[in-house]
Structure 1
Amino acid sequence: MQCIIMFGFFKPFEIELTLSKLGFTFLVIATVLIAAGGYIINDIIDVTADKINKPKKRIVGVSIDPRRAKFFYYLFTFVGVGFGFVITAGLKEPLYFLIFAGTAFLLYLYSRFLRKMALVGNLLVSLTVALSIIIVAIFELFPISTGIDPELKIFLFDIIIDISIAAFLINLIREIVKDIEDIQGDHVARYRTLPIILGAQRTARIASIICLLTLTLISWYTFTFLYEHKKTVAILFFGVIAPLGYVATRLWEDDKKSHFTRLSLILKIIMFIGIITIPLISQTIADAI
C-alpha cells in the first residue's frame, strides 16, 4: 500500500519528495515489522479463541510455541521501532518517532485489552490501516527541509486523507464482519465484542449501515471529482461501489458463518481494488489541475 502511495500517487504531480529510496525502504520495513509484531502478539493472546475460530489456520501453539512467538514479537517490534528512529533522526523530526512507538504500543493495547471490547478494537485496527497510508504523506510532504509549495502540500495531503477515510471505513466494516464470524470462539474467550453484546443480526445490520455510508461517500467523491475520466469511474463503480452495495445487502440478510467468511473476503478484494486504483485516481486529479 505504501509503495502505491509513493510511486503511484505522487508521480503524476512531478514533485520532489523528501525521503530517499533508502529512507522510504526503511519506512516500509518499519511499518511491516511493527504490523507483524502486532499480528504475533494478537495470535499469542488470542490462542483460546483461535482454537475455535480458526483451528486449521493457527500458527502459535501449533507451528511455533508461544515462548518463541513472543521472542519474535519483541524482535520485530523493537527492530521496526528502531528503523523508525533512524528515519526520524535523519529527517531531524524527532516528534515523528512517536508515530512508530505509539503505533507499536497501541497494537499491544489492542491485543491485550481492546480486542475484548465492543467496537473499540475495531476502530483501533482500522485507524492503524489508515495511518499506514497517511504516514507516507507525513514523511514525504511535511518535513522542514521539503521545498514543495505549501498549497500543493495541503492539496495532496487532503487527497491522502480522503483515501485514508475510505480505507478506514472499509476495514472497519470488515473487522465487524470478522467479529460476527468469530462470535463462537470470542464467547468462549469471554470477549465483549459487538456481536456478543448486541447479537450477530443487529451487528450485521450496523455493519450494513456503515457500508451504505461508505458507498455513499465514495460514490459522491467519484462522481463529483472524477466524473470526466470514464475509465476511473468505471473501475471504481464496478470494483468498489457495486460490490459494497452487494455486501450491504447481504449483511442485512445473511446469518451463517460461511456467509460472513465470504463477505470478509469480498471486502478484502474491494480494499485491494481500491488500492491499485490509487495511481489512476491520482493521474485523473493531476490532469484536472
Structure 2
Amino acid sequence: MLAFMQLVFFYGFLALQNISLGLKDWQFILLVLSTVLIAAAGYVINNIFDQETDNFNKPKNVIVGKSISETNAYYSYVALNVAGVAIGFYLSNVIGKPGFASLFILIAATLYFYASSLKQMLLIGNIIVALLLSFSVLIIGVFNLYPIVNIENQSVLANLFSILIDYSVFAFMINFIREIVKDIEDISGDYNQGMNTLPIFIGKQKTTKIVFVLSFIPLFSILYYIKTYLFPLVYVCLYMLVFVVAPLLFFMVKIWTAESQKQFHNLSTLLKWILFFGILSILIISWNRKLL
C-alpha cells in the first residue's frame, strides 16, 4: 500500500505536470524503496516487542519467535534501517539537500520509540502511525518539488504541494480512525500486556461511539472537497461518491453496532480499502482533467 501510494502520486500526478521534477524515475524508485525498507524495519521491531501480545491476539500470525528467531529479527531490523537510511542519505545529496537525510533517521527512530513505548500511551501511538503514513505522501513533494522551486514556478509548485497536503490529511484521518478500530479488535491482548489504549481506558462500547463521531470528520471533509474543488469533474465526483463516500457511510453504520473481534477486523480492512480508493482518485482526477 505504501509503495503503491507513492507510485500513484508520482506517475499519476506529478509526472504528468509540465515541470522537471527533482528526481529522475530510477531515483524516485530508490525513494520508494527507502520508504518501504524503513517501514519494514518498523514492522520488524514492532513484532519483536509485541510477541506476547500477538501470541494472545493472533497466534496463527506470529512470526518472531516461531518462523524467525528474535536475534535474527534484530539483525533484519538493523539491516533494513541501514539500507533505508543509506538510500535516503544518497538521495538527499543528489538533490543538493544533505540535511534531508535527517528525515529518514527521524522516521526510523520514531518507529523504534513507537514500538518500544509510545504505542502504550493513550492515543499517542495512533497519532504517530497516522502521521508517518501521511508524511510518506508529503515526502514525494519534498524531494521532487522543493529542490526545483524558483520565483517563476513558485505559485505552480505551491499549488501542487497543497494537493499532496490535502491527500496526506485524508490519509491521516482514515488511518487514525483505523488504528483505533485495530485497538478495539486487539483489546484483550493489549489489556493483558498492560497497554493503555483508548478502548481499555474508556471501554469498547464508548470507543466505538467515538469512532462513529470521528468518522463524520473525513466524511464532511470529503464532501466539502468535492463541492469546492472537484464539482466540475463529473467522473471524479461519481467515483468519490461510489468508492469513498458510500463505503465510509457503510463503515459508520456498521461501527455503531459492531461487537465481535471479527467485525472490527472487517471494519479495519474496509478502512484500508477506503484509503486505497481515496488515493487512487488522483488518477481519476488527472484523467478527467484531460477530457475537459
Question: How does the TM-score come out when normalised to structure 2?
Answer: 0.94
Please give the residue correspondences for 1:215-254 in structure 2 after superposition, counting only pairs within 5 Å: 215-254=219-258
Quote how far apart the aligned CAs of 1:48 are.
0.7
Query: Residue 104 of structure 2 aligns to which amino acid in structure 1?
Result: F
Please say which of residues 144-153 and 255-264 is displaced more in the overlay.
144-153
Structure 2: how far apart are the matches of 1:277 and 1:209?
25
**Superposed CA offset, 1:46-73 (max 9, x none):** 0010011111111111111111011100
Q: Is the Cα contact below 8 Å between 2:127 and 2:176 reproduced in 1? A: yes
Mark the CA change 1:162 to 1:282 in structure 2 (over 3 Å): closer, same or farther.
farther
Quote how far apart the aligned CAs of 1:170 are.
0.4
Structure 2: how far apart are the matches of 1:281 and 1:184?
43
Matched, 1:98 2:82: no
Query: Residue 61 of structure 2 aligns to which amino acid in structure 1?
Result: K
Match of 2:83 among 64, 79, 86: 79
**Superposed CA offset, 1:116-168 (max 9, x none):** 11110000000000000000011100015779700011101111100100011
Quote how far apart the aligned CAs of 1:223 are.
2.1
Mark the CA change 1:134 to 1:287 in structure 2 (over 3 Å): closer, same or farther.
farther
Moved segments of 4+, more than 2 Å: 11-14, 144-148, 281-288
**RMSD (Å), alpha carbons:** 1.6
Please say which of residues 221-230 and 182-191 is displaced more in the overlay.
221-230
Please say which of residues 276-285 and 185-194 is displaced more in the overlay.
276-285
Query: Where does residue 157 of structure 1 map in the other structure?
Result: 161
Structure 2: how far apart are the matches of 1:20 and 1:266?
35
Identity %: 38
Matched, 1:9 2:13: yes
Quote how far apart the aligned CAs of 1:239 are.
0.7
Q: Is the Cα contact below 8 Å between 1:18 and 1:146 reproduced in 2? A: no
**Superposed CA offset, 1:203-262 (max 9, x none):** 111111111111110111012211122211111111111111111222222111111011
Query: Where does residue 213 of structure 1 map in the other structure?
Result: 217
Q: Is the Cα contact below 8 Å between 1:127 and 1:168 reproduced in 2? A: yes
Query: Where does residue 273 of structure 1 map in the other structure?
Result: 277
Q: 3-state SS of the aligned residue for 1:228?
A: coil
Query: Residue 75 of structure 1 aligns to which amino acid in structure 2?
Result: A
Please say which of residues 242-251 and 77-86 is displaced more in the overlay.
242-251
Q: Is the Cα contact below 8 Å between 1:10 and 1:282 reproduced in 2? A: no
Mark the CA change 1:267 to 1:214 in structure 2 (over 3 Å): closer, same or farther.
same
Query: Where does residue 135 of structure 1 map in the other structure?
Result: 139
Mark the CA change 1:51 to 1:155 in structure 2 (over 3 Å): closer, same or farther.
same
Query: Residue 15 of structure 1 aligns to which amino acid in structure 2?
Result: I
Structure 1: how far apart are the matches of 2:237 and 2:37?
35
Match of 2:186 among 160, 175, 182: 182
Q: 3-state SS of the aligned residue for 2:215?
A: helix
Structure 2: how far apart are the matches of 1:52 and 1:234?
43
Q: Is the Cα contact below 8 Å between 2:37 and 2:83 reproduced in 1? A: yes
Give unmatched runs, 5+ long, in structure 1.
none
Please say which of residues 244-253 and 188-197 is displaced more in the overlay.
244-253
Give unmatched runs, 5+ long, in structure 2.
none
Structure 2: how far apart are the matches of 1:88 and 1:274?
29
Quote how far apart the aligned CAs of 1:282 are.
3.8
Structure 2: how far apart are the matches of 1:270 and 1:47?
29
Matched, 1:170 2:174: yes
Structure 2: how far apart are the matches of 1:14 and 1:46?
47
Q: How many residues align?
A: 288
Q: Is the Cα contact below 8 Å between 2:21 and 2:144 reproduced in 1? A: yes
Quote how far apart the aligned CAs of 1:95 are.
2.0
Q: Is the Cα contact below 8 Å between 2:235 and 2:288 reproduced in 1? A: no
Structure 1: how far apart are the matches of 2:86 and 2:182?
32
Query: Residue 174 of structure 2 aligns to which amino acid in structure 1?
Result: I
Please say which of residues 118-127 and 52-61 is displaced more in the overlay.
52-61
Matched, 1:64 2:68: yes
